[in-house]
């Protein structure tokens, strides 16, 4: 089949795909512009006193864990234990070891009130999430988290991580609606239960769009016509790089999988919670145990100063840089603190602050608070894909002109692709005169 025949044969299917993806893609910048913002960015200054706290290793039924924290709460200090990200955290009274779900809820609500600056607004609902959903998608990365819904006209919702006091996300009814439409149409999220079908369908439609663009470009070499046909061909020539850039970069992101920058980071390692036979003494803003090379390690922080302790509570000759190297699996390498998102450590990584550890295979960003790798690109192929998606799909190269100007420019380009597709559909309904 000649290029012109191929172009006409599949044009309708490709045009529908381009229009649907283009229109749904326009939702994304609108969603960013209208999203509710946290009233407070910095985490609260909380404190938990370890005096009288029973060692976690003495608690009945506490076996393997990934993160154990002495957490503060209006209902009293409690042990917050993450066994698996797909399970709710255990909440145990720090003194008696009895279940303390009310302490965990009070802690989550206090965090949500802090970030929303709503000290007196009623809470409509507070629950712990152990999985991603349309309202809390994978890009948020943190699990488990608490979802706290305030009794406001738009149902302001704050997602917080009680393991680190971090803010995970903020949403409301308008953002939830836009998010559901975007995920349903743009990524076919409703087909997640049958992932092979979702991948096959998106791949087929994307390849159709690419085939139409390339076959159309080939016909331009001998292009003739008047009126709408001439406009369609000339516009196609101008928009060809964009028509190819969006589907090619999107297809790469679809198939690259867990090596991508938006993928969840490696999980913290499990450790035997029974080894936690002691507790460092003092009043701490954050006191938590995570897996170390020779067993669990306590991290005790007051402000920005952190000390490390063995499982029985004895001090260790270990600092933040050394702990970061342990997490990254690097014996020696320069360590630098990272307090803001950069081109190398994008906002999709979520966690701040982190420590950047230099390694032979590239930088590794370690999070000592949760004892895990916050972000690392595993190889050259993943770096290339991340760069391609960032620049060709999200237009990060235009960041210097400002996010709003970048988004408007991108929306203008997408609008041009939609207009080109609509003109192609209109032409496909007309018979070309002999």
Provide mean pLDDT across the span 404-412.
93
Nearest of 200, 295, 258, 250 to residue 390 by alpha carbon: 250
Q: Do 109 and 172 belong together in one domain?
A: yes
Q: Please tell me whether residues 102 and 173 are part of one structural domain.
A: yes
Domain count, the chain: 3
User: Are 154 and 55 in a shared domain?
Assistant: yes
Looking at the fold, whether 341 and 373 belong to one and the same domain comes out as yes
Residue 220 has pLDDT above 70, yes or no: no
Residue 1 has pLDDT above 60, yes or no: no
Q: What average pLDDT does this structure show over 67-78?
A: 91
pLDDT of residue 227: 56
Regarding whether 134 and 68 lie in a shared domain, the answer is: yes
Q: Give me the mean pLDDT over the 7-22 stretch.
A: 76
In a domain, 364, yes or no: yes
CA 131 from chain center: how many Å? Answer: 13
Question: Over 80: is that where the pLDDT of 53 sits?
Answer: yes
Residues 330 and 369 in one domain: yes
pLDDT of residue 387: 81
Listed residues 149, 181, 213: the one ending a domain: 181
The yes-or-no verdict on residue 69 having pLDDT over 90 is: yes
3-state secondary structure 256-274: HHHHCCCCCCCCCCCEEHH
Does 76 fall in a domain?
A: yes
Q: Are residues 86 and 164 in the same domain?
A: yes
The pLDDT of residue 67 is 96
Q: How confident is the model at residue 318 (pLDDT cuts 50, 70, 90)?
A: very high
Q: What is the 3-state secondary structure (H, E, C) of 96-125?
A: CCCECHHHHHHHHHHHHHHHHCCCCCCEEE
* pLDDT exceeds 80 at position 261: no
Are 243 and 209 in contact by the 8 Å Cβ rule? The answer is yes
Per the domain annotation, does 237 fall within a domain?
yes
Residue 376 domain flag: yes
Place 258 in a pLDDT band, splitting at 50, 70 and 90: very low
Please state, in angstroms and rounded to a whole number, the distance separating the CA atoms of residues 388 and 128: 36
Q: Which residues contact 388 (CB under 8 A, 6 or more apart)?
A: 248, 249, 252
Mean pLDDT of 46-67: 90
Please give the pLDDT value at position 106: 95
pLDDT digits (tens, 9 = 90+) for 338-392: 998 887 887 778 899 999 999 888 889 999 999 999 987 666 677 787 788 888 8
pLDDT tops 80 at residue 182: yes
In a domain, residue 21? The reply is: yes
Residue 74 has pLDDT above 90, yes or no: no
Q: CA dist 218 to 5, 159, 204, 226, 328, Å?
A: 11, 51, 21, 18, 50
pLDDT at position 384 is: 80
- 7 & 132 share domain: no
Element (H, E) at 356: strand 354-357
- Which pLDDT belongs to residue 139? 85
- pLDDT-wise least confident of 119-123, 164-168, 218-222: 218-222
Indicate the length of the chain as a whole number. 434
More confident: 316 or 229: 316
- Inside any domain, residue 284: no
CA angle 162, 356, 158 (to 5 degrees): 25
Asked if 55 and 131 sit in the same domain, the reply is yes
Percent of all residues in the chain with a pLDDT value above 70, rounded to a whole number: 88
The answer to whether residue 59 sits within a structural domain is yes
In a domain, 191, yes or no: no
Asked if pLDDT for residue 431 goes beyond 60, the answer is no
List, in order, residues 6 or more apart from 95 with CB less than 8 Å away: 52, 53, 54, 76, 77
At 355, which helix (H) or strand (E)?
A: strand 354-357
Task: Tell me what the pLDDT averaged over the chain comes to.
Answer: 87
229: containing domain: 3-34+202-262+404-428
Q: What does the alpha-carbon distance between residue 288 and residue 69 come to, in Å, rounded to a whole number? A: 4
Q: Are 318 and 344 in contact, with CB atoms under 8 Å apart?
A: no
Identify the helix (H) or strand (E) that includes residue 309: strand 305-309
Whether 18 and 74 map to the same domain: the answer is no
323 and 355 both lie in a single domain:
yes
Domain co-membership, 408 together with 390: no
Residue 92 and residue 98 in contact, taking contact as beta carbons nearer than 8 Å: yes
Domain end point (choices 132, 151, 181): 181
| Structure confidence at residue 362 (pLDDT) | 83
């Amino acid at each position: 089949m000649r290029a012109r025949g191929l172009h006409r044969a599949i044009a309708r299917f490709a045009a529908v795909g381009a229009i649907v993806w283009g229109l749904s893609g326009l939702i994304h910048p609108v969603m960013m512009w209208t999203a509710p913002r946290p009233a407070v960015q910095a985490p609260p200054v909380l404190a938990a006193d370890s005096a009288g706290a029973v060692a976690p290793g003495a608690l009945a039924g506490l076996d393997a864990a990934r993160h154990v924290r002495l957490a503060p709460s209006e209902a009293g200090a409690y042990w917050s234990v993450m066994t698996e990200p797909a399970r709710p955290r255990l909440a145990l009274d720090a003194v008696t070891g009895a279940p303390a779900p009310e302490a965990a809820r009070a802690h989550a609500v206090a965090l949500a009130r802090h970030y929303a600056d709503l000290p007196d607004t009623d809470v409509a609902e507070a629950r712990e999430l152990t999985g991603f959903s349309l309202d809390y998608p994978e890009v948020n990365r943190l699990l488990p988290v608490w979802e706290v819904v305030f009794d406001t006209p738009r149902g302001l919702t704050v997602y917080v991580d009680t393991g680190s006091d971090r803010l995970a996300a903020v949403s409301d009814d308008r953002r939830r609606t836009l998010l559901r439409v975007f995920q349903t149409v743009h990524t076919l999220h409703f087909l997640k239960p049958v992932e092979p079908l979702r991948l096959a369908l998106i791949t087929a439609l994307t390849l159709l769009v690419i085939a139409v663009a390339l076959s159309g470009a080939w016909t331009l070499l001998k292009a003739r016509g008047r009126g709408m046909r001439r406009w369609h061909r000339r516009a196609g020539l101008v928009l060809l790089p964009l028509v190819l850039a969006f589907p090619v970069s999107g297809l790469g992101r679809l198939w690259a999988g867990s090596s991508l920058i938006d993928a969840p980071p490696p999980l913290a390692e499990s450790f035997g919670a029974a080894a936690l036979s002691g507790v460092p003494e003092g009043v701490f803003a954050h006191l938590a145990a995570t897996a170390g090379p020779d067993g669990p390690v306590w991290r005790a922080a007051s402000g920005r100063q952190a000390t490390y302790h063995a499982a029985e509570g004895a001090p260790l000759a270990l600092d933040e840089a050394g702990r970061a190297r342990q997490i990254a699996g690097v014996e020696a390498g320069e360590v630098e603190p990272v307090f803001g998102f950069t081109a190398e450590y994008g906002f999709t990584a979520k966690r701040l602050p982190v420590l950047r550890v230099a390694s032979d295979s590239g930088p590794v960003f370690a999070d000592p608070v949760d004892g895990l790798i916050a972000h690392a690109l595993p190889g050259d192929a993943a770096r290339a894909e991340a760069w391609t998606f960032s620049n060709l799909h999200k237009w990060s190269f235009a960041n210097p002109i400002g996010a709003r100007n970048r988004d408007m420019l991108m929306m203008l380009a997408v609008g041009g692709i939609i207009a080109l597709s609509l003109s192609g559909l209109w032409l496909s309904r007309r018979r070309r005169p002999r």
